[in-house]
Structure 1
Amino acid sequence: MYVTTESELADLVDRLQGCTELIIDTEFVREKTYFHRLGLVQLAANGVFAAVDPIAVPNLDPLIDLIKRRDVLKVFHAGKQDLEILYQLAGEVIQPVFDTQVAAAMIGWGAQISFAKLVKRATGKRLHKNETYSDWCRRPLSNNQIEYALDDVRFLVPVYEKVVAQLKKLNRLEWVQEELKSLTDADQFELPDPYTQFMRVKNVRTLKPRQMAVLREVAAWREMEARRRDCLAKFIIRDETLLQMARQNIETVKQLHDLRGINGKEINHHGEKLLELIQRGRAVPESECPDLPEGTSYATNRGVEELLAAYVQIRSEELKIEPHLLADRKLIHSFVACHEQEEGLEEHPLFEGWRKHLIGSDLHLILEGQQGLIINKKGRVTLINPHPRPNPS
């Protein structure tokens, strides 16, 4: 079903009423724009499979009202960007949600598994990805494009059913629900603070604090301009050029023209503004110049962290769950730091929810010297004097 009129959309929403689970996918384009440009919304429920054309039907309010309902579970695969688009359309976070990619990792089917691989694993069928690089905002769409897009929800139905069945078998459904809470946090979808974007500029750590203050001003302006024009920030000024502006003693428009990585027309229109921003950065009091947090190098206590990471790998194999879900290197690093500083440990993610019982308590006892790792006679690394924990099955 390809929906291209308001009456067809109204009919579709009527047919979807009463569903308890709504399968959703979107097709969008974002290669050259700041914001996603929505090309299609695909849905499945009550035996109906539909692709809604938001270009032909720009008023999606009836559909958004259905998606916003709290008594309908919205099912996605790798749904972060889909949810970001829907957040902008709905003006609120979409909940409750389920993500089959997260669920697949929780049952040991692979980390960040692609939809095609998950379909093959769950159904034995192979998806044809011949329209992967389609421009979903160009009209008209071909029948092949529409069918390709509909397959994403057609096959997501059995994938969802299969992973839920496996989660229930392993008593891990609640784990997934806990893990997905972050996808219903509005902070995940808010636009970033323009005045923090300088920290994302490559090689920013090569600058002195005063130079960072200049970079902060021009990078914030670039970010706001990119939003206003709906274009990529690098199309306005390249990162390398921002660094030159921060390093050099630029005081004239002519000096701006001498820089590489910025169009002359950009300088003609905004040169005076850029000079003002550069001067503003130079005038920032020393105490207010930015100082970047230390990079995550994991160099401190590397041996300790490697030991804990080894145990995480062992537990992931025992539980048949992806190790990054148990504890990635960033979590291990912060856990060791909290233990050293003797603060914040009780609020640490490894000491909350399902992770505490499965991995956090063991890691803590290892740090406390109350448990250790040995190689047994079978050549496997194992805990000595392990404390009791719930049966993972």
Structure 2
Amino acid sequence: MIETTAALEEACRQLAQSEFVTIDTEFLRETTFWPELCLIQMASPDLEVIVDPLAKGIDLAPFFALMADTNVVKVFHAARQDIEIVFHLGNLIPHPIFDTQVAAMVCGFGDSVSYDQLVQKVKGVALDKSSRFTDWSRRPLSEKQLDYALADVTHLRDVYLKLKAELEREGRAGWLTEEMAVLESRETYDLHPDDAWQRLKMRLKKPQELAVMRSVTAWREREARNRNVPRSRVLKDDAIYEIAQQQPKDSEALGRLRTVPKGWERSSSGTAIIDAVNAALALPKSEWPQAHRHSHAPEGAAAAVELLKVLLRLTSEKHGVAAKMIANSEDLDKIAADGEAADVPAMHGWRRELFGDAALKLIEGHVALRFVGKKVEAVEL
């Protein structure tokens, strides 16, 4: 393993000479808010390295410089968590990137295909999974564990080249570029505490309750970040829902809630929650958030959604693109209800060309579905 800044700098210098570098990270986050980076694996066509970010005195600046090098494509599989780590520690988003999980869906390898499955399909190699649950923060790591970690980037080289060639052959390289734009956006990883409430399940509908939920959730987000502990260690979601509904204005009212631990209302956290509740209640009604209102589905919309599902499957099979990649059930609901006005991914970019326009024609009566030789096909009327 690379354990010194000098060795890392030399490795990154060599890796930067390649057209692409495959990257994976091992981390722990069971007891922390921010993931604890334990290992970095990288490979180019000519070099394979493992970096120990826990080594005493090592400076990861050469690694972050490589991540920012626009001349090198950074290849990940299921990139979001790896990029989150780079963003948090290095304050940058790797660019350009290539996510093989997304590319595999565009190329028809199925929905959210795992790395193991992709390696099996592309290379016919079954990976040894016995080291999957390793505690990567412990030292020393065995040769078997290091081999397992390195395999996450060595096979990825062939997977990347296969998928890249497939995308270029099918003229879909631009499709992937659209998808990578989301992964390369700072907004994807830099969630503002005041927006954290939108990640919760929307069990509440009243604007006043939503205002309290937003305020309390923002406090929890800041507290979890400052203490570097999981959000649930600060306050569980169920407690937030109850606080939003009951709206305790003092410690006595907070202490009566079932989801709040006994005596907690007298703590500094209890005081902060009461302050958050009262701050939300003091807002003018015009500043309360509104529950998302679903469009009123016209009569027959449920049946229309079922037809759209059939059309989606036909489109997926015909073009070899995972159905989940083209549209989800919420997209179909909105298209059935709102038609052209549906502002969903399926109505934009390559998805519209592939499916959206045909979906509109179907619900407008210009396309029909019929059986031909025990198969279903879509035909324009």
Judge same fold: TM > 0.5, yes or no: yes
Provide the C-alpha distance between the structure 1 equivalents of 2:202 and 2:355, rounded to a whole number of angstroms.
36
Contact 2:27 2:39 in 1 (8 A): yes
2:226 aligns to what?
228
- Superposition deviation, residue 114 in structure 1: 0.7
Q: Would you say the 8 A contact 1:23–1:75 is kept in 2?
A: yes
Shift of 1:208: 3.6
Rate the CA distance shift 1:43–1:298 in 2: closer, same or farther, 3 A. Answer: farther
Q: What code does the residue aligned with 1:236 have? A: V
Q: What per-residue deviation string (whole Å, max 9, x for no partner) do you get for residues 162-189 of structure 1?
A: 2223333433333323332222222212
Indicate the residue corresponding to 1:367 in structure 2: 363
Q: Give the Cα separation in 2 of the matches to 1:351 and 1:246.
A: 36
Q: Aligned-pair distance for 1:21? A: 0.5
1:366 aligned partner, one-letter code: L
Distance 1:358 1:244 in 2: 44
Which residue in 2 is equivalent to 1:312? Answer: 312
Corresponding residue number in structure 2 for 1:237: 235
Separation of aligned partners in 2, 1:323 and 1:114: 16
Alpha carbons of 1:24 and 1:305: their partners in 2 closer, same or farther (altered >3 Å)? same
- Is 1:380 matched up with 2:375? yes
The answer on whether the counterparts of 1:22 and 1:44 sit within 8 Å (CA) in structure 2 is yes
1:145-224 mapped onto 2 (5 Å cutoff): 145-191=145-191, 193-202=192-201, 204-205=203-204, 208-224=206-222
How many Å apart are 1:231 and its aligned residue? 0.9
CA distance in 1 between counterparts of 2:380 and 2:96 reads 41
TM-score (norm 2): 0.89
> Does the residue aligned with 1:74 lie in a helix, a strand or coil?
strand
Residue 261 of structure 1, CA deviation: 4.2
Deviation at 1:129, TM superposition (A): 1.3
- Distance in 2, matches of 1:96 and 1:253, equals 51
The Cα of 1:71 is off from its aligned counterpart by: 1.1
In structure 2, the gaps of 5 or more residues are none
Matches within 5 A, 1:1-393: 2-56=1-55, 58-191=58-191, 193-202=192-201, 204-205=203-204, 208-248=206-246, 250-263=248-261, 264=263, 267-294=266-293, 301-339=301-339, 343=341, 349-376=345-372, 378-385=373-380
TM-score (norm 1): 0.87
Hey, what's the Cα distance between the residues in 1 that align with 2:268 and 2:352?
Answer: 56
Displacement, 1:277? 2.2
The two structures, once aligned, show a CA RMSD in angstroms of 2.6
In the TM superposition, residue 266 of structure 1 has moved relative to its aligned partner by: 7.5
Deviates further, 9-18 or 60-69: 9-18
Contact conserved, 2:295 with 2:334, CA < 8 A, in 1? Answer: no
Between stretches 210-219 and 194-203, larger displacement belongs to: 194-203
| In 2: Cα distance, 1:211 partner to 1:360 partner | 36
CA distance in 1, matches of 2:88, 2:298: 40
- CA displacement at 1:200 relative to structure 2: 3.9
Judged with a 3 Å threshold, the aligned counterparts in structure 2 of structure 1 residues 272 and 4 are, in CA distance, closer, same or farther, namely same
Give yes or no for contact 1:212–1:289 (8 Å, CA) kept in 2.
yes
**CA 1:68–1:335 in 2, change beyond 3 Å: closer, same or farther?**
same
CA shift, 1:239, in A, is: 2.1
The number of equivalent residue pairs is 378
**Separation (CA, whole Å) in 2 of partners of 1:364 and 1:119:** 38
**Match of 1:383, SS?**
strand
Name the % identity. Answer: 33
In 1: Cα distance, 2:130 partner to 2:249 partner: 53
CA contact (8 A) 2:334 2:342 kept: no
